[in-house]
Amino acid sequence: MADFTLHEGTAPLLVSLPHDGTALPDALAARITPAGKRVPDTDWHVGQLYAFARELGASVVTPRWSRYVADLNRDPQGHALYPGRSETALVPVTTFAGEPIYAAGSEPGAREIALRREMYWQPYHDALAGELARMRERHARVVLWDGHSIRSRVPMFFDGQLPDFNLGTAAGASCSRGLQDALAAVLREHADGGEGRYSHVVNGRFKGGHITRHYGRPETGIEAVQLELAQYTYMDEDSFEYQPGRAVPVQDVIRALLHTCLDYARG
């Protein structure tokens, strides 16, 4: 089986879901603890949440492997995304809850980490770069949308409860101000609405990972945005069960956000 799936669309929109994978190579799984084998830190069901994106003409890339194999949204050289704050590595050794992923003494060393970067991390990024180049040959401006989700409470990373919709643009560096403002307006109108159904923040705790920061170059015609969703908005965080009744209104908001990206790219 392939390490990732790439659907080539026709629209100026690429949806990347780098933490959607759950598979573990057999040789690796043999070294992983029961807690690690549950892959609890997966961005559960984001592929299902974003399934409609193909109907919009978007390209979509999703990985097969769990982020425990290699985290596709981390800097390949291990540089920190948020200096001074807790974050996971290119090859993590503990879960977000602090549980060991590997049996004692079987943690990966520097050579193994380098090999995983070459075998698992690099092909995904080659696909991203290649698809963006293909799209730029056809469109003057394209948007890379990096879709994520996380438990609403993760003390390792933040205090209290995370806002429902967390939009990240590397503090405004990865996309044009016009696009950021348009997306923020969507969240005010469609998410908060008049009833405050969902909370949101722009460039709060999650400002965008390596993908958003590396590929977002609005001056070259490539806009990049990350959305981090609080998982309770569409699923049960303890059982990991997808809950369609919760998910449908969340998809409506995401749909409005992606339409805004398309309008901006074509505008």
Q: Where are the beta strands (DSSP E) in the chain?
A: 4-7, 13-16, 59-63, 142-150, 165-168, 200-202, 222-230
- What is the arithmetic mean of pLDDT over 182-203? 81
Written out in words, the top-level CATH class of the domain with range 4-266 is alpha beta
| Res. 248: pLDDT tops 60 | yes
Question: Token pair 């991203």 is at which residue?
Answer: 128
Nearest in space to 124 (alpha carbons), one of 69, 44, 52: 69
Per-residue pLDDT at 120: 97
| Res. 118: pLDDT tops 50 | yes
Contacts of residue 123, Cβ cutoff 8 Å, sequence gap at least 6? 3, 4
What is the model's pTM? 0.95
Residues 236 and 233: their CA atoms lie apart, in Å, by 8
| Res. 47: pLDDT tops 90 | yes
Contact (Cβ atoms closer than 8 angstroms) between residue 106 and residue 28: no
Per-residue pLDDT at 195: 46
Cα atoms found within 13 Å of the Cα of residue 214, Cβ hemisphere only: 17
Nearest in space to 129 (alpha carbons), one of 217, 24, 44, 199: 217
Per-residue pLDDT at 251: 96
Per-residue pLDDT at 179: 98
- What is the arithmetic mean of pLDDT over 24-39? 96
Give percent of the chain above pLDDT 70.
94
- What is the arithmetic mean of pLDDT over 120-146? 98
Q: What is the largest CA-CA distance in the chain?
A: 55
Residue boundaries of the structural domains of the chain: 4-266
| Res. 82: pLDDT tops 60 | no
